Structure 1
Amino acid sequence: MRVLVDEPALKLASIVLRGGTVLPTHHSEVPVTIMALRGSGTVVAGAERLRLDATHAVVLAPNVPHAVEPDSGTDLVLLVHHLGRGEEHHQ
């Protein structure tokens, strides 16, 4: 993960998932928006499977456990907006 902006109102990070590597289940204490800069995949939030690609972004409320699964064998570059100050927790 590379933090691009870290301000009280916004934390902006890029995450690269290579070769189909899954981002394990975690949550954020603040709302997040997840966008795919390159590649495509699925955000798994409970029973929901939300498409993530150049035409679909995902918005999650605070404290929603979620994982990110790139499409099989692909690289996925994410841009994640954390709206406010909080910490991310892996479960």
Structure 2
Amino acid sequence: MKVKELLELLEETIGHLRIALVVNQQRIFESPYTSYEFAQRAVEIQEDLEDLEKLRAELGRLDPESDVEEYYPREEVERLLKTLELLRKSESYAY
């Protein structure tokens, strides 16, 4: 997989997480009974978002046309791809 392709997946996932973060932050004020749950989820999403933005900055310094495996072990790349897929499909903004 090329660095450019991984960056595109990363951008898509970051977009999903930003939407989820805003939705969860807004839902904090809906009910005093569920506000803690939404606040906790917003904190978790923010942490994931910060990690992905750090990774994006790191990948942005690499040659976009080079293979990711040149810089990272194959197992790490596969694990990252699975994580990105799960984060994109989680739809945490739908709850």
Greater RCO (Cα-Cα under 8 Å, separation 6 or more): 2
Fold match by TM threshold 0.5: no
Larger strand proportion of the pair = 1
Larger-Rg structure: 2
Give the TM-score of the pair, scaled to structure 2: 0.22
